Amino acid sequence: MKIVIIGAGEVGYHIAKALYQSNDVVIVDQNEEACARADEMDVDVINGNGANVSILSNVLENASLLVAVTGSDELNIVACMAAKLIVKDKLTDGLDFKTVARVSSPDYIDKPVAKRTQIGIDIMICPELSLASEVAKILAIPSAIDAEYFADGKVEMMEFVVPHDHAIVGNKIQELNLANCCIISAVFRNSDVIIPHGDDIIKGNDHVVVIGKTASMKGVRDLFGKKVGKRSKVMVVGGGIVGFYLARMIAKSEFDLKVIEANKERAEFIAEALPGVMVLNGDGTDVNLLKQEDVSDMDVFISVTNRDEKNLLCSLIAKQLGVKKTIARADRSDYVSLFEMVGVDSAVSPRQATVNEVLKLTMGKGVESVTAIEGEKAEIIEFTTSKKSKIVGKPLKDVKFPQGAIVSMVVHKGNTVVPRGEYVIEGGDRVVVFTLQSVIDEVEKFFR
What pLDDT score was predicted for residue 94?
45
Q: How far is CA 361 from the centre of its chain?
A: 16
* 2-125 and 232-350: identical CATH topology: yes
Does the domain at residues 355-445 carry the CATH identifier 2.60.40.10? no
Segments in 194-293 forming alpha helices (H): 217-224, 241-250, 264-273, 287-292
Q: Bridge-partner residues for 301, per DSSP?
A: 235, 326
Q: Where are the domains of the chain?
A: 2-125, 144-224, 232-350, 355-445
428 CB burial (10 A radius; 0-12, 13-18, 19+)? middle
Reduced to 3 DSSP states, what percent helix, strand and coil does the chain have, rounded to the nearest 5? 35, 30, 40
Overall pTM surpassing 0.75 (yes/no): yes
State residue 257's pLDDT score.
92
Q: Do 314 and 303 touch, CB atoms closer than 8 A?
A: yes
Confidence at residue 143, expressed as pLDDT on a 0 to 100 scale: 65
- What pLDDT, on a 0 to 100 scale, did the predictor assign at position 142? 61
Fold observed for domain 144-224: Alpha-Beta Plaits (3.30.70)
- H or E segment to which residue 50 belongs: none
Show the low-confidence residues of the chain (pLDDT under 50).
92-94, 228-229
Write the pLDDT tens digit of every residue in 414-431.
899 999 889 999 999 999
239 with 267: CB under 8 angstroms?
Answer: yes
pLDDT at 17: 87
Q: Which residues pair with 111 in a beta bridge?
A: none
Q: Quick one: pLDDT at residue 33?
A: 92
**Dist. CA 10–CA 182, nearest whole Å:** 35
pLDDT tens-digit series, residues 338-388: 898 898 988 888 877 788 788 877 776 778 888 878 766 788 999 999 999
Residues 6+ apart with CB under 8 A from 342: 312, 316
Please report, in angstroms and rounded to a whole number, the separation of the first and last CA atoms in the chain. 16
In angstroms, rounded to a whole number, what is the distance separating the alpha carbons of residues 447 and 444? 6
- Name which CATH class applies to 232-350: alpha beta
Cβ–Cβ < 8 Å for 50, 79: yes
pLDDT value, residue 37: 92
Q: Which residues pair with 44 in a beta bridge?
A: 26
Phi, psi (deg, nearest 5) at residue 211: -120, 135
Per-residue pLDDT, 391:
94
Pick the CATH number of 2-125 from 3.40.50.11540, 1.10.443.10, 2.30.30.100, 3.40.50.720: 3.40.50.720
User: Which are the contacts of 413, defined by CB distance < 8 A and separation ≥ 6?
Assistant: none
